[in-house]
Structure 1
């Protein structure tokens, strides 16, 4: 794990294990993905960003698991799932979708099917 990523989790070290599972799977499925660590999020991109990891407060604090990560995807449609915490359409044909992850079991095939769709969408836009 690189230093920038470790520093990102400095205030939320219990979420690092969730992130390690997520990042490993990202690179298994998308080995050419580029990672960028910023102050508030870690972004994964091809031509454009297709997935982000953050600690965004997309639910009330009492509703968030501990630890948690928020996975944010850019999709061409509104994702209809109980797993979606928030979805918005910042401009026509682009939906930003936030999904809260609280356990490694939630980093599953369903989540990665959506990430794959976001990956394809970011390649063609």
Structure 2
């Protein structure tokens, strides 16, 4: 049986979620939808995050503590996007401008309802921003 790069990536992602298994099915759903929209994305599973690239990094998944523990759901992951402008939404847990014209935006994902058109519109903005760099 031939093992593809995607198989290896998903095996690595499963290990990444080892201590957060309850939210892994939600991540799989997110990952599948993202790749259906941006099939040429490259994925790199690291110790602290799963990164999505086109020309540059445009999104990553992590377990970053972006709020106080009491404000976070039991099972979640954090989606971080690189955007050209600050995102004005109650869904944004934290945002910073590490340098002029680049906003790092963190969004807590804890349920299937979070994987909506609004979210994927923001991901598209991040994708386009990274592609233009």
TM-score (norm 1): 0.98
User: Out of 18, 28, 43, which is 1:20 matched to?
Assistant: 28
SS of structure 2 residue aligned to 1:50: strand
Q: What does residue 89 of structure 1 align with?
A: 97
Q: What does residue 79 of structure 1 align with?
A: 87
SS of structure 1 residue aligned to 2:25: helix
Q: CA deviation at 1:18?
A: 1.1
Report the count of equivalent residues. Answer: 125
CA distance in 2: counterparts of 1:62 and 1:17, whole angstroms: 23
- Flag as ranges the 4+ runs of structure 1 deviating above 2 A: none
CA distance in 1: counterparts of 2:31 and 2:54, whole angstroms: 15
Q: CA deviation at 1:40?
A: 0.6
Q: CA deviation at 1:104?
A: 1.0
State the Cα deviation string for residues 56-112 of structure 1 (Å, max 9, x = none).
000011111121010000000000000000000000000000000110110110000
Give the unaligned 5+ runs of structure 2: 1-6
Give the unaligned 5+ runs of structure 1: none
SS of structure 2 residue aligned to 1:116: helix
Q: Greater helix share, 1 or 2?
A: 2
User: Out of 35, 58, 65, which is 2:66 matched to?
Assistant: 58
CA distance in 2: counterparts of 1:107 and 1:83, whole angstroms: 12
